[in-house]
A and B are shown apart, each in its own frame.
Chain A
């Protein structure tokens, strides 16, 4: 069974950093592109970033370019999202997604002073 378990969320002040992790199991992690998708409270879904199967290519939405970094450790079957210079508008639930098919349960990030 595919499992994606996010961690690392919480409350953070504007301008600070936070790193999300997504532990994957139940499939061969190194074979799949992975993505982060976010959802602000009571809002719709927004794609954040994608990394290809071996980490050689990454893609970001404009609003996070230069601030967020998606990465992966295939040996640990783990996906990451390093979020720097956080803003209040980054407040959302962040989902780890495998190949646009399987979603984690999400982790909440609240950016507030």
Chain B
């Protein structure tokens, strides 16, 4: 199975900060990588697909990038509504696997 190692697990940040969350894939997954945002008591929301593409309605302060087997989600100028848990998912091959999640919280 492909392991998605997500870091950090917790990320204290302040409004206006630039933050980056990373997932490292244990095998090649091409660009079959998605990022989801989940707020308490809510369903996950797709933010990024194909490693670098915005889902519909996602603010431009969110961006996805790839460097080799490392995939990153960056949020520029953090807003209060961005406080949530973020998950990466590889869907290059079965079983699809999620990263362990990053809890973005107020410092």
Residues of chain A at interface, number, CB under 8 A: 19
- Name the residue of chain A whose CB is nearest to the CB of B46: A101
Residues of chain B at interface, number, CB under 8 A: 20
Dominant SS among interface residues on chain A = strand
Which of A35, A44, A59, A61 sits near B87, CB closer than 8 Å?
Answer: A44
Q: How many Å lie between the Cα of A46 and that of B46 in the bound state?
A: 15
Q: A residues touching B (Cβ–Cβ < 8 Å)?
A: 35, 37, 44-47, 50, 59-62, 95, 100-106
Cβ contact within 8 Å between A95 and B94: no
Q: How many Å lie between the Cα of A95 and that of B55 in the bound state?
A: 19
Cβ contact within 8 Å between B55 and A47: no
B-side contacts of A44, CB under 8 Å:
87, 98-101
Contact mask B59-73 → A, CB, 8 Å, 1/0? 000000000000000
